[in-house]
Amino acid sequence: MTFTRLLIFGLLAIVAWRLLTVDVESVEARDISPGHDVVFFTAPWCGYCDQARDYLDDNGVDYLEIDVEASTTNNRKFQELNGRGVPLIFIGETRMAGFSPQAYGRALERVQ
């Protein structure tokens, strides 16, 4: 019985690892939207999204905003990128979840 449980746990761990390690780390902003160095996934209720949007606007950053609740297409794209929460932002080759002015600034320096 213990061996069977260990085997099942091991198989579930492998499946979870494979699902979580889909190669989305190599995705960059231009893969999502050619012509944009910054792509920003948001939701209307998200306060951190508001802060991130204000930061981008205040710094004159051109970005594409994708509301994950506006359509099933938007939500599907978010899910394909293993989105787990908003804001999810792609700045050039950098993927970040959440809002950090310092991290955004460093990433923006690399694309400008």
pLDDT for 40-56, tens place per residue?
A: 999 999 999 999 999 99
Domain count, the chain: 1
Question: Would the pTM count as exceeding 0.85?
Answer: no
Would you say residue 44 lies in a domain?
Answer: yes
Alpha carbon separation from 42 to 18, 34, 65 (Å, rounded) = 26, 19, 7
Q: Please identify which residue in the block is written with the tokens 């938007």.
A: 74
Indicate if the pLDDT at residue 23 is higher than 50: no
Task: Write the CATH number for 54.
Answer: 3.40.30.10
Indicate if the pLDDT at residue 59 is higher than 50: yes
What domain range is 30 assigned to?
A: 23-111
Of 105, 71, 65, 103, the closest CA to residue 86 belongs to 65
* Token output for 78: 């978010």
Would you say residue 17 lies in a domain?
Answer: no
Q: What is the DSSP letter of 4?
A: H
pLDDT for 2-20, tens place per residue?
A: 767 666 666 555 544 444 4
Taking residues 76-83, report their average pLDDT.
96
Q: Which long-range contacts (CB under 8 A, 24 or more apart) does 103-111 make?
A: 104/52, 104/55, 104/56, 108/38, 108/59, 108/61, 111/37, 111/38
| Mean pLDDT, the chain, whole residue set | 87
Would you say residue 18 lies in a domain?
Answer: no
